[in-house]
Amino acid sequence: MNLLDLQRRMAEDVRRPLTAAYEMQQTTEDGSSTEELAASYIAPNSRLSSFERLEIYNRQYWFRLMSAVSEDYPSLNAVLGPKRFESLIVAYLHAHPSTSWTLRDLGAKLPAFLVDHPELVGKRHKLAVDVAKLEWAYVDAFDSKRLEPLTAEEVETIGPDSRLFLQPHLQLLELTYPVDTLVLAVKKGMPETDIVSSATSQKDTQYRMKLPSMRQQRVYLAVHRFDDSVYYRRIERETFLILSAFREGSSVADAIASGFAKSRLKPDEQAALVQQCFAHASKLGWFCTTEAISEHQATSVM
């Protein structure tokens, strides 16, 4: 066995899923003995067998992945409870194992995975999905680029045919629960050392906080970064639709038309909301230049 074969052999064994008891599997997918495989390239020592030495790496690999996902979803953990959350993360990682050198995007598909697997979260399915969407939006808003915003002079030149581009870090969410209050409560009330699953922290018990009650309420959020901090800002449905239309490439006139297509607001109220929308977006630097977007898109493709 040369070095490359050895690396491939160990990588395959280390990445093999753990058992339900978080132990290394006794056999491989083809029925081979894991103990014999381990003995073929790992020497035992006075305290551990070859199998036990390999198991350390196998378990730590999966605990690290579980921890990485858990750290991005502390509020989902609080909503579901440690045991159900732990089971969810394990099922998710089996369906979406790590395929990248970075763990940053490991939890990116969890909101969509939750949508497709309501059986994993029980009665709080819709609430769990909303919480997951907001927590991943936080990650995206924190990490995504901030491009050069429009200047005050450029904002004044905006006309009906203008096409506005939104900052990559700005995330727009339509939710069925006001989970922004829940997520903020968890972030403020949960000790940092406990924002991980009980499996990865190896704790028998976990801090549990009292969560605010949640009733269904349509909420529209703008999640954005300002001065290196992430903020959640509730916006009107019409504002959400206008900004979403900008992201899809619509002109100012078309975006405003789509925003008020089914609105019950009176003309003067619509005018005031448009003015408010543009004022807030400009103040917070949500609009950026065509040149900045083009450069960002070109860099992303490379």
Q: What is the CATH number of the domain that holds 300?
A: 3.90.930
Res 199: pLDDT: 41
45 assigned to some structural domain: yes
CA distance 198 to 216: 29
* Whole-number Å distance between alpha carbons of 22 and 4: 28
| 12 and 155 housed in the same domain | no
**Model pTM score:** 0.86
Write down the pLDDT at residue 208. 64
Beta bridge partners of 23: none
Domain extent for 273: 147-178+214-302
In a domain, 184, yes or no: no
**In the prediction, which pLDDT does 187 show?**
86
The answer to whether residues 97 and 244 belong to one domain is no
Nearest alpha carbon to residue 254 among 148, 161, 189: 161
pLDDT in tens, the chain (302 residues): 789 999 999 999 999 999 989 999 999 999 999 999 999 999 999 999 999 999 999 999 999 999 999 999 999 999 999 999 999 999 999 999 998 889 999 999 999 999 999 999 989 999 999 999 999 999 999 999 999 999 989 988 999 999 999 999 999 999 999 999 999 999 887 654 443 433 444 443 345 678 888 999 999 999 999 998 999 999 999 999 999 999 999 999 999 999 999 999 999 999 999 999 999 999 999 999 765 555 555 555 44
Q: Indicate if 53 and 109 belong to the same structural domain.
A: yes
Question: Do residues 183 and 131 lie in contact, with contact meaning Cβ atoms separated by under 8 Å?
Answer: yes
Does residue 190 sit within a domain? no
Q: Compute the distance between CA of residue 165 and CA of residue 162 in angstroms, rounded to an integer.
A: 10
In a domain, 198, yes or no: no
The reply to whether 168 and 298 lie within a common domain is: yes
Q: Which phi-psi region, left, alpha or beta, contains residue 294 (left: φ > 0; alpha: ψ -120 to 50)? A: alpha
The residue among 87, 119, 143 that closes a domain is 143
Q: Output the pLDDT for position 201.
A: 44
pLDDT at 209 (0 to 100): 72
- Overall domain count for the chain: 2
Do 160 and 252 belong to one domain? yes
Residues 105 and 2 both lie in one domain: yes
Give the three-class secondary structure for 112: helix
Is residue 83 located within the same domain as residue 118?
yes
Question: Does residue 63 sit in the same domain as residue 99?
Answer: yes
Strands 219-226 and 229-234: antiparallel
Q: How far is it, in rounded angstroms, from Cα 263 to Cα 270?
A: 9
The closest of 135, 150, 222 to 186, measured between CA atoms, is 135
Which of 98, 95, 110, 87 has its CA nearest to residue 14?
Answer: 98
